[in-house]
Amino acid sequence: MITISFIGLDAFIVENYSFEHTLKISSLYQIEPKHLNFYAPACAFLHEGIDQTSWNILIRIHAPKTYQKVEKEIANYLHNTLKDLTINQNIEFYYYEPSSRYEFLNDEYPRYLDKENSYETIIEIDEEDEEEIYDGNIFEELDK
């Protein structure tokens, strides 16, 4: 399993990026796409108290040690495909021994959500049924 984490890049941008680039990155690693994941935490990249989101990003790749041989290709690909979305990029690789990774999967469910087994949440708002705002004393009982 290879995980690419983006710190300082909006999650929606990472979502779109993963959709567009999973196949190519998987082919560079010579793995099936199901072995590549992207992680976009809801966070900000900060420097001296100023938000650097999209200006400075940190990309961390966690992969089995056997994939170290394609590190430069991956770094160049990430840089070239992200340079129109960010100003400055820092890319760090972290490797682990495959024997140090544990995976516990529930056989009763699909491994990943996809277009066939997921759904979109649709929220309908009926403006006529909006509750009235209570402007009375909510502490009336306590004031006695």
Residue-level pLDDT, tens digit, the chain, 144 residues: 999 999 999 999 999 999 999 999 999 999 999 999 999 998 888 889 888 888 999 999 999 999 999 999 999 999 999 999 999 999 999 999 988 888 888 888 877 777 777 766 566 666 666 677 777 777 777 776
Contact between 77 and 24 (Cβ < 8 Å): yes
pLDDT of residue 43: 85
φ, ψ for residue 13, nearest 5 deg: -65, -45
pLDDT of residue 119: 67
Contact between 40 and 15 (Cβ < 8 Å): yes
Q: Tell me the three state secondary structure of residue 28.
A: helix
pTM for the full model?
0.75
Task: Render 59-124 in DSSP notation, one character per residue.
Answer: EEEEEEGGGGGGHHHHHHHHHHHHTTT-SEEEEEEEEE-GGG------TTS-SS--TTT-------
CA distances from 22 to 47, 48, 77, 140 (A): 30, 34, 12, 59
CA distances from 87 to 7, 55, 77, 91 (A): 14, 5, 16, 13
* CA dist., res. 134 & res. 144, Å (int): 20
Q: Which of 78, 69, 4 is nearest to 39 (CA)?
A: 4
* CA dist., res. 59 & res. 97, Å (int): 20
Both structure tokens of 142: 């306590």
Q: What domains are defined for the chain?
A: 2-99 (3.30.429.10)
